[in-house]
Structure 1
Amino acid sequence: MAFKRLELPPPRVLFLVLSAFLGFLALEGFLLWAYGDMPLRLSLLDLLFWGGLIFWSIAVRVPLPLSASMSQLFLFALALVILSPPWVAPLVSFFARWSKKVWYKNLFNRSQDGIATALAALAWQFFQQNPVYLGSWNLSGGMGIAVASLAFFLANTTLVTTAIHLANKVPWREAWRKNFSWLALSYLLLSPIALLLARAYETPLLAGWGGWTVLFFLIPLYYSRFYWDEKVRLEQAFDTTLELLMNALEAKDPMTRLHSERVADISRDLARKVKNGDEAYAQAVYRAARLHDIGKIAIPERILFKPGPLTPKEFAAIQSHPTKGAELLAPARKVAFDQLVYNVILYHHERWDGRGYPERLAGQEIPEEARIVGLADAYEAMTAGRPYREAKTSEEALKEVQESSGHQFDPRLVEAFAELWAQNPIWRDRHAYLAAKEGSVSRSTSSQPSSASDSPSPSEPGSRTSEE
């Protein structure tokens, strides 16, 4: 009965977990065979001290996107590699972790820590056994710690990225880029601190015990970790601020309540479907879709919420919101957003037939993420209604989307959208969606009979369409 209750991951993930564990056992066995006769200079208290530091470093890890995290475990593991025989540090890294995660996640995390530390130990020993000199200078320590740090980083990030790739169907390169590409330089620049910690432990400066000096170094180390944490938090806070702006904009008009959130939910499902379950791309499109109408903040309210026909000048102002949105977020381009976000903001009103705005792109010239959000935006607008246009039912909106295939929308996306729609997702019916999100729905958001004159295609000044 106990076996039946055992939680198992998908077979491909289970294979990776077991392979990592067996890999760790093989490496540890080799290190014991090759270096088992080396004297252990550390006492049990020394090992407990370094094990406690490794445990602490994991406890204060920084969460990353896609279910990953980062810590400064590598610094203490590398220091222990320097201070002890090669087989010791991998064992300590394997056991100095406590987690409430399910057994296979815990086993994988322990195994990848052990593998990374074992490879770092092998790199360090190579340079100790094959010294490198530059004239009279012995560079073995510096070279050894640099290569050991690189080996640890590559082993750790490769295994974690592979786990994310298999568990979440995220492209391997995308998972690595999003979580770890910006960390590589930090690992290499911080690695000399491991050598410094080890030497400080060997030559006590305070009260005859090197541990006091090591603990003193925890202060700057904590603040370097604090910087990592703040970078992640800053991005999250920036996203939250922009979403608050979008919510404030939509709150001014009951008919646009939760517009961007529903567009984002539709876009995420559609992106996931057309990319065969790529969760990283789906989440990136979701994030961009939440901000797709950010440029409307710059449009005067008397135009934005005007119930009657627009003048040519007012219509031009409405059509300027994609470019205004891109300009608004331009200062954050290198800090918080990548090109995908700008593609969505700038091009979500382009049309497959080239009659959209602002640049009249056509077909494959339009970035795929912009085509996805554009379709979701049109469907949401059609089913939401506006002061100048009654809402369509979900069936009528789907029919109009299908009739616009090859004209306004990418035919491949229309086909995928129709398949999703047939599965009756929560976003299909706006009334049900708002009820699920808010718990209540005002009469102003319920579906109304359609108007035969409404169309999601571009219009002449004076009329209003779902493309706005």
Structure 2
Amino acid sequence: MAMTEHADQQTILIVDDIDTNITVLAGVLQPHYQVLAARNGALALKLARKKDPKPDLILLDIMMPEMDGYEVCRQLKADPVTSDIPLIFVTSKDSVEEERVGLELGAVDYITKPISPAIVLARVHTHLALYDQRRELERKVRIRTEELNATRLKIIQRLGLAAEYKDNETGLHVIRVGHFSRLIAQAYGGNEDWVDLIFNAAPMHDIGKIGIPDKILRKEDKLDEGEWETMRSHTEIGARIIGDDDSSPLLQMSRDIALTHHEKWDGSGYPYGLKQEMIPLSGRIVAIADVFDALTSVRPYKKAWSVGDAIDLINRSSGSQFDPKLVDCFNKVIDEMVEFKDRHKD
């Protein structure tokens, strides 16, 4: 429940099962902060996840029925929505061991009852100031990181386009595969950051074709065994071009995709014959997106398939070439994929 409404003030969530304790703490804090209160852990978790107002700090009792303060703290710190909110235990428990447990769970401080108003205000003020400083630092780091990622992303996109121009003189394939991969990843249930990552990494799937001779890439007849062996090497060439940069999740995923998007669920793919979950999830997703677009596009060696025929093949290949769960995701977003493809034709 909301106990005060101060739009411009920071928000403190008090969690205690005893009304008197809430009243005492609220009386100390209300002149300075907006105050929310919860009499049990379940309500505390619900209020902590609210966006408006999102608590800036939580004062949490330990001894509560059904869900004690330790468990509330565990759940708050395990949830990315609430994990960064500073939390102070306010409790009659005052042993060193109990304080250690609370701090190890992620609390920033420990105040014992009966409270001293001056100490409560001083601790709250200190941790709110630290929280503000941390958020401002994170904001600056995020801006700088976004600038670096934007530059890196442009390089990756240009490399992906370079490979595609070499292959069939159009850059729309890599654009479509990126969007198709994002739609499948969303249907799978990936979080926003991960979905964006696969969207930006997918265009690098065929970067290794830069290293394949034009006479093979553009050959209209069936490739012989030696030519096919050379063609298949584009996966490993792509991985070498991207490199092994542990500091960049985007480059890591790009490398995984370039290396494994021709692996098959049953282990019959290349270059390593990986099976099922041994194939990175990103590679399994891009495999479906890439095949669907390749089938429905004109290539030097074939005419475009109809969308219906391509969908039928992908569904028939569920459990052999493709991850069955991801084929289900593909079927959920196929209308959006077709709509995007119609708007971005070669």
Instruction: Give the TM-score normalised by structure 1.
Output: 0.48
Q: Supply the distance in 2 between the matched residues of 1:314 and 1:300 (Cα, whole angstroms).
A: 10
Q: Supply the distance in 2 between the matched residues of 1:371 and 1:128 (Cα, whole angstroms).
A: 58
- Whether the 8 Å CA contact 2:181–2:202 is kept in 1: the answer is yes
- Whether the 8 Å CA contact 2:208–2:239 is kept in 1: the answer is yes
Q: Deviations over 1:214-268 (max 9, x none)?
A: xxxxxxxxxx94x653332011111111102222332345564411111121111
Q: Supply the distance in 1 between the matched residues of 2:331 and 2:142 (Cα, whole angstroms).
A: 43
Q: Which amino acid aligns with 1:264?
A: G
Instruction: Please state if 1:427 is matched with 2:341.
Output: no
- Whether the 8 Å CA contact 2:164–2:206 is kept in 1: the answer is no
Distance 1:125 1:326, change over 3 A: same
Instruction: Please state if 1:401 is matched with 2:331.
Output: no
Distance 1:362 1:434, change over 3 A: same
Instruction: Please state if 1:345 is matched with 2:258.
Output: yes
Of residues 135, 147, 153 in structure 2, which corresponds to 1:233? 147
Of residues 314, 327, 344 in structure 2, which corresponds to 1:414? 327
Distance 1:316 1:117, change over 3 A: closer
SS of the equivalent of 1:425 reads: helix
Q: Which amino acid aligns with 1:24?
A: T
- Whether the 8 Å CA contact 1:264–1:289 is kept in 2: the answer is yes
Of residues 28, 46, 52 in structure 2, which corresponds to 1:34? 28
Deviation at 1:272, TM superposition (A): 1.4
Deviation at 1:147, TM superposition (A): 5.4
Distance 1:433 1:125, change over 3 A: same
Partner of 1:160: none
Partner of 1:244: 158
Of residues 259, 266, 270 in structure 1, which corresponds to 2:184? 270
SS of the equivalent of 1:309 reads: coil
Deviation at 1:152, TM superposition (A): 5.1
Q: Supply the distance in 2 between the matched residues of 1:299 and 1:290 (Cα, whole angstroms).
A: 17
In structure 2, the gaps of 5 or more residues are 15-22, 35-49, 59-83, 91-107
Distance 1:396 1:229, change over 3 A: same
The structure where strand makes up a greater share of residues is: 2
Deviation at 1:333, TM superposition (A): 3.4
Of residues 252, 257, 271 in structure 2, which corresponds to 1:358? 271
- Whether the 8 Å CA contact 1:256–1:384 is kept in 2: the answer is no
In structure 1, the gaps of 5 or more residues are 1-14, 37-86, 92-106, 131-140, 157-182, 188-223, 436-444, 446-468
Distance 1:117 1:386, change over 3 A: closer
SS of the equivalent of 2:319 reads: coil
SS of the equivalent of 2:243 reads: helix
- Whether the 8 Å CA contact 1:271–1:282 is kept in 2: the answer is yes
Deviation at 1:350, TM superposition (A): 0.3
The structure where helix makes up a greater share of residues is: 1
Q: Which amino acid aligns with 1:425?
A: E
Q: Which amino acid aligns with 2:178?
A: A
Distance 1:260 1:25, change over 3 A: same
Distance 1:252 1:405, change over 3 A: same
Q: Which amino acid aligns with 1:249?
A: A
SS of the equivalent of 2:344 reads: helix
Instruction: Please state if 1:285 is matched with 2:279.
Output: no
Partner of 2:212: 299
Of residues 209, 212, 232 in structure 2, which corresponds to 1:319? 232
Alignment of 1:249-260 (within 5 A): 249-252=163-166, 254=168, 256-260=170-174
Q: Supply the distance in 2 between the matched residues of 1:336 and 1:409 (Cα, whole angstroms).
A: 24
Deviation at 1:426, TM superposition (A): 4.5
Deviation at 1:364, TM superposition (A): 2.5
Distance 1:371 1:284, change over 3 A: same
Distance 1:307 1:114, change over 3 A: same
Distance 1:241 1:250, change over 3 A: same
Q: Deviations over 1:387-419 (max 9, x none)?
A: 011111111111121222222112232233234
Q: Deviations over 1:281-315 (max 9, x none)?
A: 32222222122122222333333233333343332
- Whether the 8 Å CA contact 1:353–1:408 is kept in 2: the answer is yes
Q: Supply the distance in 1 between the matched residues of 2:6 and 2:281 (Cα, whole angstroms).
A: 37
Deviation at 1:330, TM superposition (A): 1.9
Q: Which amino acid aligns with 2:344?
A: L
Deviation at 1:26, TM superposition (A): 6.5
Instruction: Please state if 1:24 is matched with 2:18.
Output: no
Aligned residues: percent identity? Answer: 28
Partner of 1:206: none
User: How many pairs are equivalent?
Assistant: 273
- Whether the 8 Å CA contact 1:394–1:429 is kept in 2: the answer is no
